[in-house]
Chain A
Amino acid sequence: MFYNILGFLVLVAAVLGGLVWHYRRAVLDLGRQHEEFRKQRDAAVDLLNRIGLSINATLDLDGALETITEYIVESTGAESGAIFLLDAQGKTLRARTVHGLFPPMHQTTGYVLTKQKYLEEKIKRDQVAVGEGIIGFVAKAGESLLISDALSDPRVPKTSLDFVQVRSMMAAPLRTRQRILGVFAVANKKGRGVFADEDLRLLEQLAVQAALTADIVRLYEHQAAQRRIAQELELAREFQQMLLPSALPRVVGLDIAGFSKPAQEVGGDYYDVFWVLPPEYLGVVIVDVAGKGIPGALVMAILRSVLKAEAPGSTSPREVLKRVNRRILEDTKDNVFITVLYVIINVPARRMRIVRAGHEPLILCRASDEPQVCMPSGIALGMVGDEMFDVLEEREIDLKEGDTAILYTDGVIEAANAQWEEFGSERFLAGVKGRVSQPAQRQIDGILEDIQRFTGGIPQQDDITLVAVRVGDHAGQEASSLADRVLEPDRV
């Protein structure tokens, strides 16, 4: 009995031993794989710690990416490496960080780059299209690639510079949530060795962490930019509001009303009504600065001061705008332009001189006729010098009792509804014609109601400004205060 049990045990041991012997290679492999996983896991944890430290310490996001690049290059025993990130359209990759002398990914020309800094700059500018070359391939296919013998591989760009020649390289996609962000590539194993499969697997693991970080970097930068923009725009809007007139002059024989409502996000409209040469000559001006945010607001402020300096005493709007243009040209940057419609009314004579520097035309609503669209030639301010600006045409128009001159900005025409249709000139003119006998303020309110009804309450995309000047004896009592009229912009 005892010998039976012993025999049985020996048999089991023998079977087991035989199994182990038979599967010895697999067992050893398992051991090695386990060892590999352990190493990868340790490396990943180590990297995460390093990144965590890097981000917390300095909030330097590019620094975090550089830390990763450096770390992965070291861990894989490479001489150099780079992170390529996809641009917003997802069509091209650009090197975001580079560590070591990472070789150019395009065939280099005869132009010799001998300093690391210049090489780095060239790499950073290097663009690779998705699908192009090794980096492009990895980005497109979403698969990692190992090239052990680069010199005989036609996909690898060749260069005459020995120290940046690729001998061996690997690249892994940076992927999160099923989206490919870019590619991590390392080149030339140290000690003139070549990369092997296990190196590639380590790279793939680390690429996962790198992808997460790249994603966070992207997100943070995007949000920071958005926040900055939003803050700037808010400041600009408040500032521009301050520049609008708080009260319009009471003029016997004229009924004047104005309205301006800024949109959330755009450059400024401005208008003003002021005596040029009291008690005869009254100036009415409407302005649209093309340019958003703080620069737009500053330009507006400059324009306003220049106008206030140049306008008084001069009864020719053409001469005034020519001088204003000269000053604006000097004081502002290249891509700033301002459209202006400037009207000087000789009140007792009921005559109006108008100039239009690139602005929407003046609408003259006759009591007994179709509205007239007055569009004399002119170029926007701040763009061209005296010679070209000279095309500015000054037109003189006689006004009759009951006529209304309407000045407006393109926000009125371009107000859009949910179907992306514009309010448009036709609707505008029709609305204006229908209200020609009403007081100026009512005319403006009416147009605003028309727009509101048309857009169905969609928040406006552009500033809306309207000024109405009606000729008539009942006028003067109703000069409106702007402060009552400016509504709070829609909060979305």
Chain B
Amino acid sequence: MTKGSKPFEITVTACEQAPGVALIELSGYLDTHTVSEFDEEMFVRRGPDFRFFVTDMADLSYISSAGIASLMKLVQQTRKRGGEVILLRPGEQVYSILELLGFTDIFRFTATLEEALALLTDDE
């Protein structure tokens, strides 16, 4: 019906260095077509098992408002449960989208995994 969508992949793994923290790796395009995959993984399958997330966005080429809405939902739900989500090394384009929306004031960003884990342990 519509043109094919660009690929998207999400993997969630328990972080070895920090028990209870999940490492989410996003790659490709998180938009209207692919956001359901994100939702499935984060709100149904693996997400509910964790309360702390580090989201590696290094390989995320693009995020649309649909993707951001889901990301926002994850952050808010997680914070309600006493957890946190750290966004790790978003690329330039993704960061500028988040900046446009003013979300750079709301989300927490780090450049390395170590910094992200340090932030999370500080929280606890």
Name A's B-contacting residues (CB within 8 A).
Answer: 264-267, 288, 290-292, 334-337, 339, 357-361, 375, 377-380, 383-384, 388, 391, 410, 414, 418, 420, 458-459, 461-462, 492
Contact = CB atoms under 8 A, between A and B. Distances in A.
B84 to A, nearest CB: 16
Given A334-B73, A335-B70, A420-B6, A267 B106 contact: no
Given A334-B73, A335-B76, A360-B100, A267 B105 contact: no
Contacts, number: 75
B3 A459 contact: yes
5 contacts: A265-B2, A335-B69, A335-B76, A358-B101, A414-B64
B2 A379 contact: no
A264 B66 contact: no
Interface in B95-124: 100-103, 105-106
B32 interface: yes
A291 B70 CA distance: 9
B35 to A, nearest CB: 9
B15 interface: no
A290 B102 CA distance: 14
B2 A264 contact: yes
B66 A461 contact: no
Contacts of A337: 65, 68-69, 72, 101
A377 B2 contact: no
Contacts of B70: 335
Interface string B1-20: 11100100000000000000
B76 A391 contact: no
A280 B68 CA distance: 38
B100 A334 contact: no
Given A290-B65, A290-B69, A379-B101, 7 more contacts: A266-B32, A267-B66, A290-B68, A334-B77, A336-B69, A337-B68, A358-B100
A462 to B, nearest CB: 8
B102 A357 contact: yes
What are the 4 A-B residue pairs with the smallest beta carbon separation, nearest first? Answer: A335-B73, A379-B102, A290-B65, A358-B101
Tier of interface size on chain B: 20 to 34
Contacts of A339: 65, 101
Contacts of A357: 102
Nearest to A127: B45
A330 B76 CA distance: 15
A290 B69 CA distance: 7
A379 B69 contact: no
Given A292-B32, A334-B77, A461 B105 contact: no
Contacts of A420: 6
Contacts of B76: 334-335
A465 to B, nearest CB: 14
Contacts of A391: 102, 105
Contacts of B65: 267, 288, 290-291, 337, 339, 410
Q: Which of B1, B77, B100 has the most CB of A within 10 A?
A: B100
Contacts of B106: 379, 383-384, 388
